[in-house]
């Protein structure tokens, strides 16, 4: 049987999704919980990596199993074995040629930030704090130039190794509520650190440090240095994966 | 000079407000931050204790100082020395006969809980999870019998040592938003664990395990065992202190 599971995690305590030599990963705790539950050691394929401290409202991962555990019992059973900051939201059977990574049609990420003189004692690991209020209308205007198919090489951090840096962003939705701002980006795929660089670039636009034209030019010229900084992990959420 | 400060903290990492032999307290880190800033060791008087894991949207505390640091510079200066989960929100000068504990006129606490099959990976230290949805209308009806001046001995945990167990609750406001419920209680003072017992009692009412009449009778008879359980610390917030 091949199962796909939806996994929610607060990434603060983890070295990221992917199993690492040093540090505890979300992938490792899910594998360990399944082993504690069934005695079986699975190979768990995620839809993609998330970095240390990055959160997931719903990461997806598949695995093959011989276990007789009914698929609808998996979430509650697994959640008794998992740490409180990792939850299985749902589980379903998928075809044997389904792959959590290669079958992805689209992904949605969100970057959360808030502004104000003081950082919030409750938000330090859930959103990024900035002192100065950005102009959200300017952020929205800058976001427009990024929507569509582009070569996003300028928005790839060093360490990314992919054949093509062309990606399609389907939408960028920016919401402001009180002193909180969220940037939700849906696309067919994202380069290494792309969402954090995109969020930093829109923030710079909101501070009038970059214009929409500057950003379009930097994308065109594949010039990472002409864009905003990579914002920190605590504000980033993998929202959903579409198949 | 006597200063009053507003302190926000996420209590998860602390043994509570009060300095203890074993464990790090919020009081200790504020005293230490002031020492790091000015070299001066202060005596810090809080409005009252909060237990391990309990949060504060705004705790108040006063101290006397010889420091020349202007009062309006205290929040930003202190926040550079404090851990990310403790923030000074504001500071102001108060009269020399003002006392953060003895001058209190009213306090407001909030208990946050949410229901659903799964606990939330982001809420485990910020709100209390229950599986079964309580009936909020029944909770509101039960809350009505608690408002006013009563002897709340039935809502005092063992370990409370006070002369009188008579307190006045000015209001109990219950809000429901999606699967989240908050119980906000304003009163002239609270007994040890009173808000957590009150929240547990209203939850039992919401599950139809207790009626408003049962609760009124238990209060009248000072019978702790006839009320709901003490809910855990993670859902409790000291919202504000009035002078």
- Do A129 and A83 lie in one domain? The reply is no
Question: Would an 8 Å CB–CB cutoff place B122 in contact with chain A?
Answer: yes
Q: Dihedrals φ, ψ of A65, to 5°?
A: -145, 150
Predicted pLDDT of residue B160: 66
Rounded Cα–Cα distance for residues A127 and B12 (Å) = 18
Predicted pLDDT of residue A221: 96
- For residue A6, the number of C-alpha atoms closer than 13 Å in the C-beta half-sphere is 16
Residues of B in contact with A75 (CB under 8 A): 117-118
**What confidence tens digit (pLDDT) does each residue in B172-219 have?**
999 999 999 999 999 999 999 999 999 999 999 999 999 999 999 999
**What confidence tens digit (pLDDT) does each residue in A153-174 have?**
999 988 767 889 999 999 999 9
Question: Would an 8 Å CB–CB cutoff place A223 in contact with chain B?
Answer: no
Predicted pLDDT of residue A160: 66
- Residue A24's domain comprises 2-94
Residue A242 falls inside a structural domain:
no
**What confidence tens digit (pLDDT) does each residue in B110-140 have?**
999 999 988 999 999 999 999 999 999 999 9
Look at residues A182, A125, A181 and name the one whose alpha carbon lies nearest to residue B125.
Answer: A125
Residue A174 falls inside a structural domain:
yes
Instruction: Look at residues B47, B71, B94 and tell me which one is the last residue of a structural domain.
Output: B94
ipTM over 0.90: no
Instruction: Look at residues A94, A115, A133 and tell me which one is the last residue of a structural domain.
Output: A94
Whether B22 has a pLDDT exceeding 90, the answer reads no
Is A117–B75 a contact, with Cβ atoms under 8 angstroms apart?
Answer: yes
Selecting from A89, A124, A126 the residue whose C-beta is nearest the C-beta of B118 gives A89
Residue A132 falls inside a structural domain:
yes
What is each CA distance from A32 to A27, A238, B75, B222, in whole angstroms?
9, 22, 44, 48
**What confidence tens digit (pLDDT) does each residue in A38-64 have?**
999 999 999 999 999 999 999 999 999
Whether A99 has a pLDDT exceeding 70, the answer reads yes
Domain total of chain A: 2
Which structure tokens are listed for A174? 């920016």
Considering chain B, what percentage of its residues have pLDDT values greater than 70?
A: 100
User: Binning pLDDT at 50, 70 and 90, where does residue A70 land?
Assistant: very high
Residue A55 falls inside a structural domain:
yes
Q: B residues 67-86 near A, CB within 8 Å? A: 75-76, 79, 84-86
Selecting from B85, B89, B121 the residue whose C-beta is nearest the C-beta of A124 gives B85
Q: Dihedrals φ, ψ of A54, to 5°?
A: -80, 140
Across the range A109-119, mean pLDDT stands at: 95
Predicted pLDDT of residue A152: 96
What count of other Cβ atoms lies within 10 Å of the Cβ of residue A3?
20
**pTM score:** 0.90
Question: Would an 8 Å CB–CB cutoff place B131 in contact with chain A?
Answer: no
Residue A100 falls inside a structural domain:
no
What count of other Cβ atoms lies within 10 Å of the Cβ of residue B40?
14
Whether B159 has a pLDDT exceeding 80, the answer reads no
Across the range A97-116, mean pLDDT stands at: 97
- Do B53 and B124 lie in one domain? The reply is no
Rounded Cα–Cα distance for residues A201 and A230 (Å) = 8
Instruction: Look at residues A31, A61, A94 and tell me which one is the last residue of a structural domain.
Output: A94
What is each CA distance from B154 to A194, B170, B186, B215, in whole angstroms?
57, 18, 18, 10
- Do A26 and A135 lie in one domain? The reply is no
- Do A8 and A127 lie in one domain? The reply is no
Distant-in-sequence, close-in-space partners of B178: CB < 8 Å, separation ≥ 6:
none
């Amino acid at each position: 049987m091949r199962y796909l599971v939806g996994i929610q995690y607060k990434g603060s305590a983890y070295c990221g999704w992917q199993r690492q030599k040093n540090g505890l990963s979300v992938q490792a705790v899910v594998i360990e919980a399944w082993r504690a539950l069934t005695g079986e050691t699975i190979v768990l394929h995620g839809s993609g990596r998330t970095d240390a401290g990055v959160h997931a409202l719903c990461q997806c991962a598949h695995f093959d199993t011989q276990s007789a555990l009914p698929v609808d019992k998996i979430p509650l059973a697994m959640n008794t074995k998992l740490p409180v900051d990792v939850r299985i939201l749902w589980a379903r059977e998928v075809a044997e040629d389904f792959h959590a990574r290669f079958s992805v049609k689209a992904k949605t990420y969100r970057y959360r930030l808030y502004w104000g003189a003081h950082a919030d004692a409750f938000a330090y690991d859930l959103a990024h704090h900035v002192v100065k209020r950005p102009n959200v209308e300017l952020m929205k205007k800058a976001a427009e130039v990024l929507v569509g198919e582009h070569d996003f090489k300028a928005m790839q951090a060093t360490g990314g190794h992919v054949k093509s840096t062309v990606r399609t962003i389907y939408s960028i939705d920016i919401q402001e509520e009180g002193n909180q701002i969220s940037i939700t980006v849906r696309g067919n795929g994202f380069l290494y650190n792309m969402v954090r660089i995109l969020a930093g670039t829109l923030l710079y636009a909101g501070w009038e440090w970059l214009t929409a034209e500057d950003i379009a030019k930097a994308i065109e010229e594949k010039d990472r240095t002409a864009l905003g900084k990579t914002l920190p992990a605590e504000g980033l959420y993998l929202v959903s994966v579409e198949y």
